[in-house]
Amino acid sequence: MDSAALLNLLGNENRRRILRLLSRKPCYVTEISEYLGVSPKAVIEHLRKLEDAGLVESRTDTQRRKYFHIARNVRLEVNLSPYGFASKSAYPASNSLDLTNCRHLSLDVSYGDDDSLDELLRTLERLERLENELSLAQRWVQGRLCDVLDRISESVGSEPESRIYADLLASIRTEPKGIGSISRELDAPREVVAELLEGMADRGLVQRTERGWELTDTRNLTPSND
């Protein structure tokens, strides 16, 4: 599901409360209505929207009561900083995904063959701990990203909290490019790109050659590791 549509859907507090309740156990409309303190008609409308989005499914029991439950795992990420806003949603990857190939991660993703309840609970504990550690790692990375972007802004001498300078410099870091190519890559007007490049050329950070615009000295843009 598109992340923007998912954000709009979850913007309603009662729909969030419904999902929180259904994540604990399947429920029928009357249960949800009593839990929320709203009319069954309103609950049915919320459930319809959640079903249309593929977040909720229903089944009917022997007494012909319709139970609603969470349909699938969905992860929604929102990153907001002075340098940008981004959101993305994703369904869980296949169990066959090989995380050992991730360059920046060193994870123990082994599972035992023992399906005893004790071993399953141990595995649950390890996975929950891993989930918390990955969350902390994401927060650390986000903080470091902002720190590096701050240092790039200082190196360029630009106004603080402006990401476009870093994006422009990254665009020409590996190969020279023309203004048209940079403009398309950054989705920025040619006039803006040209003005920024000329300003950084005056500071000796970039130069225009026969092959296009390129960096003059990447060492001036390398943040320290402390």
pLDDT in tens, 55-65: 999 999 888 88
What is the average pLDDT across 5-16?
94
pTM of the complete model beyond 0.85: no
* CATH code 1.10.10.10 region(s) in the chain: 3-70, 115-226
Mean pLDDT for the chain overall: 86
The token pair that represents 150 in the structure block: 């701050």
Architecture label for domain 3-70: Orthogonal Bundle (1.10)
Name the percent of the chain lying above pLDDT 90. 45
Read off the pLDDT band of 160 (50, 70, 90).
Answer: low
* Alpha-helical runs (H) found in the chain: 3-10, 13-22, 29-36, 40-52, 117-156, 164-171, 179-186, 190-202
Q: What angle, rounded to 10 degrees, do the helices at 179-186 and 190-202 form?
A: 110
* CATH number attached to the domain at 115-226: 1.10.10.10
Read off the pLDDT band of 162 (50, 70, 90).
Answer: confident
Return the pLDDT at 95.
Answer: 64
Lowest-confidence segment of 1-5, 11-15, 36-40 by average pLDDT: 1-5
The side-by-side arrangement of strands in the sheet containing 66-70 is 27-28, 66-70, 56-60
